[in-house]
């Protein structure tokens, strides 16, 4: 059985007004909708579809406002 879909922060903790590269890993060849679930910031998708390995990525830029941030990725099964 394959692993469940997951999000990974590829660049470590976000500090100040920095950012991060976020990678979604799930089923291959699916459309992805990146979402800011909680907190402030901007998401810039690099890809909107998973590749043959089920990977898709985006850049998160923080707004400089401290606090918790939750990023989500939804796909059509």
In three-state form (DSSP H/G/I as H, E/B as E, the rest C), the secondary structure along the chain is CCCCCEEEECCCCCCCCCEEEEEEECCCCCEEEEEEEECCCEEEECCCECCCCCEEEEEEECCCCCCCCEEEEEECC
User: Percentage of the chain surpassing pLDDT 70?
Assistant: 96
CB 29 within 8 A of CB 63: no
Write down the pTM of the prediction.
0.84
Dump pLDDT digits (tens) for 44-77: 999 999 999 999 999 999 878 778 889 999 987 6
Task: Give dist(CA 15, CA 64) in Å, integer.
Answer: 8
């Amino acid at each position: 059985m394959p692993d469940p879909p997951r999000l990974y922060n590829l660049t470590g903790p976000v500090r100040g007004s920095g950012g991060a590269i976020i990678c979604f890993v799930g089923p291959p060849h699916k459309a992805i909708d990146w979402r800011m679930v909680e907190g402030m910031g901007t998401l810039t998708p690099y890809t909107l579809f998973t590749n043959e390995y089920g990977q898709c990525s985006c850049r998160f830029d923080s707004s400089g406002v401290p606090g918790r941030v939750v990023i989500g990725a939804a796909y059509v099964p």
